[in-house]
Amino acid sequence: MIGGPPKTAVAGARVAWGPSVCGALAGVLWLVVSPVSAQTSGTVVMTSDRTSVAVGDTFRLQVRANVTGAEVTRFDPPSLDGFAVRSRQVSRPLQFRFGFGQQQQVIQSTTVHTYVLEALTPGRHTFEPAEAEAGGHTFRSDPLTVVVGGSGATPPDPQNPQNPQNPTQIQPQQNPNAPAVAVDGAQVDPIAFIRTVADVADPYIGQQTTVSVYLYTRSPIRAAPHVDQEPTADGFWIHDLLPPQRSLDPEIQNIQGQTYRVYLIRRFAAFPLREGALTIGAPQMTLQSGSLFDLFAQPQQMERTGVAIQINARPIPNAPSGNVVVGNYSVEARIDRTQARTGDAVTLLATVRGTGNLRDVRFELPSTSALEFLQPQIQDRVEQPGDRVGGVRTFEWLVIPREPGTHVIDGLSLRVFDPETERLSTVAAPPLTLVAAGNAVPGIADPDATDPDPADVDTPVPPPTSSFAFGPIRQASALDVGRPPVSSQPWYWALLFGFPILGLTALLVGRVRRRPVDETKVAKRTARKQLADAEKHADASEPREFYAAITATLERSIEGRTKTTPRGLTHEELRALLRDRGCGHDLIRRLVEELESCDFARFSSAGGSREEMLACLKRARGLLAELERVPVAAEEAAA
């Protein structure tokens, strides 16, 4: 859990050159004879993934000897007293580099000793320099110090070796100014993962804990990752610590033998608003990895989700009732003048400086009959040196003395809890004195304001005590009992829509009643029915009935058109009637002939054949069709 920036102890290249010309000549000769270079140089580097551990914690110590021009013949690791060696690995990759032409052939030798050590005793342990000998030269590393603290580190979860709350192998902060890590959440991934850390695991309510979100990637990213889901912070008041515009520069870090690029994505100050377990939610990001300059490689898009971390907010111990602010503050106060007329406004300025959540800082200055405090104007100047939020909060009141005399303003004090010392103290500004002269001036909340003296109208009165006297009250009232609105009653809507519906219904009924009977259509329908009857008579060989039906059909049709019954008319009168209605001569002639022939056939046995009757029926249909085209007498009159 506990970890600091990784230390690297690097010895500078210690190359022993032949100081003499002879040596140089021997070297040239050796170059000719030997297939490899005679120049020998090298470094020995000793590194540890953690420099601050607790007793029982394991960490990785690595000693790397790089030698060019010779092979490592001897290697002396540092003394490991005070630590138990849990594992040891030695690797000796040997590399040859061949040159052409004027280039030399070079041999490069690397020896890497990796130890996993467990701290046994607390204290400050210094590893002596490691030594490597190659080509007759000795190379040394720098010493390395590891601080072992007391026991108390969270034991690793055996069920979950990658317990997000205990990523013992992760050291994200190369920057020494980065906040310490107290709560840690990460799910290590061989390609990329998100890590969320907080610097205080159990802050008091109102105390700052700094939360940082890092992105670890093996390969560089093409652009700033898109944060699909911000880390939620319910129960906290949040203040961002990173500027909105900044460059995303990675730091290189080695985790479990793998090199990662570490990007700082978010950092904010979180102030708990209530006690108990509060959660910083898991962030989610989408990123594209791959070098921007690698034209042949396809960018790889990845989505990663972080791990939520839990902060345990503690209540402020022995906190009195009322407003207690957490941090470190000082209070100053001043007044723009110490003497004023009653009713004149005086400006009271209070300045609070310090570290903590400034928004929690407030003063209660209740108005009295002698002094009225208007709502203050509050201005904040938030600063964050070293990622610790603080700054200056300024309160500006207008104070109106209502009564003459000497008034003392002494309410500008804060109860402050310092989480570092865990002490509660009171910070206060010295009392201020205001001398007011003049007559008493009633305020808005003053009962005396009911009957303002007209002489006071000209007195300069501040805006909030405007000269409006509310009242007088009403002494009599009908004391109506509330009734539901008229428009919410069902009967109202029944009436509202009933009248139009009734009216429309009456209108429609009247219209239907006044509608004229279309005699033309009735006559047409009757004629069609009579023709059908006639056809039945023809089929039944009933000539008398057939011709009677044809005659009746034609006469009814003529009556429908002329509005005059043709019965009883002579043929000449009928011709004249039809002529008056605009019938053509041919139609008149055929109608009269058909009526004559029907009269004749009704009493004659010759016209009784079926064929004769069907021919008559066909003619009658033709005559009726022509008659329907003749204008009706009433329509013509109306036109």
Partner 1 sequence: MNRVRSHAVAAAFVIAALGPSLGLAQSTEEIFARGNEAFLAERYDDAIEQYERLLDAHVVDPDVEFNLATAQARLGRLGAATQHFERTLRLRPSDAEAEAGLQAARRILAERRAASEGVGEIIVSGGLSDAMYRGFTEPVLAWGLLALVVALLLSVVWFRRARRRLRVGLALLLVVESIATTAFAVGVMTKRGVFRDGAEGIVLVDRAALREGPDERHASRGQVREGDAATLLETDETGHYIRVRIGDERGWVARDAVGRVTF
Residues found near partner 1 in the complex (CB under 8 A) = 234-235, 273-274, 345, 374-377, 397-398, 444-445, 447, 449-450, 462-464, 466, 468, 470-483, 485-488, 492, 495-496, 499-500, 503, 507
Give residue for tokens 């601080």: 147
**CA-CA distance, 577 to 566, in Å (whole number)?**
9
Cβ-based nearer residue to partner 1, 150 or 516: 516
Angle, CA 483 vertex, CA 482 and CA 487 arms, to 5°: 140
**CB contact at 8 A, 363 and 302:** no
How far are the Cα atoms of 45, 170, 219, 251, 294 from residue 291, in angstroms, in the given order? 29, 24, 8, 16, 5
Cβ-based nearer residue to partner 1, 252 or 486: 486
**CA-CA distance, 358 to 382, in Å (whole number)?**
8
**CA-CA distance, 497 to 506, in Å (whole number)?**
14
**CA-CA distance, 632 to 639, in Å (whole number)?**
11
**CB contact at 8 A, 68 and 135:** no
Strand, helix or coil at 539? Answer: helix
Contacts for 190 with CB less than 8 Å, ≥ 6 apart:
218, 258
Which residue, among 440, 445, 452, has the nearest Cα to 370 in the 3D structure? Answer: 440
The DSSP H or E segment spanning 563 is: none
**CB contact at 8 A, 11 and 44:** yes
| Most distant CA atoms of the chain, gap in Å | 167
Cβ-count burial 274-309 (b if 16+ within 10 Å, e if not)? eeeebebbbbbbebbbeeeeeeeeebeebebebbeb
Q: Quick one: three-class SS letters along 21-82?
A: HHHHHHHHHHHHHCCCCCCCEEEEEEEECCCEEECCCEEEEEEEEEEECCCEEEEECCCCCC
**CA-CA distance, 278 to 480, in Å (whole number)?**
54
Instruction: HSE, CB side, 13 Å, CA atoms: give it for residue 449.
Output: 18
Which residue, among 480, 465, 64, has the nearest Cα to 257 in the 3D structure? Answer: 64
Burial class (CB in 10 A: 0-12, 13-18, 19+), 41: buried
Strand, helix or coil at 297? Answer: coil
Contacts for 488 with CB less than 8 Å, ≥ 6 apart:
none
Which residue, among 52, 51, 23, has the nearest Cα to 38 in the 3D structure? Answer: 23
The DSSP H or E segment spanning 210 is: strand 209-217
Q: How far is the CB of 494 from partner 1 (least distance, A)?
A: 11
How far are the Cα atoms of 340, 362, 408, 409, 434 from residue 405, in angstroms, in the given order? 10, 28, 10, 13, 8
Cβ-based nearer residue to partner 1, 102 or 375: 375
Which residue, among 219, 224, 214, has the nearest Cα to 267 in the 3D structure? Answer: 214
Gyration radius of the chain's alpha carbons: 56
**CA-CA distance, 565 to 552, in Å (whole number)?**
11
Cβ-based nearer residue to partner 1, 477 or 570: 477
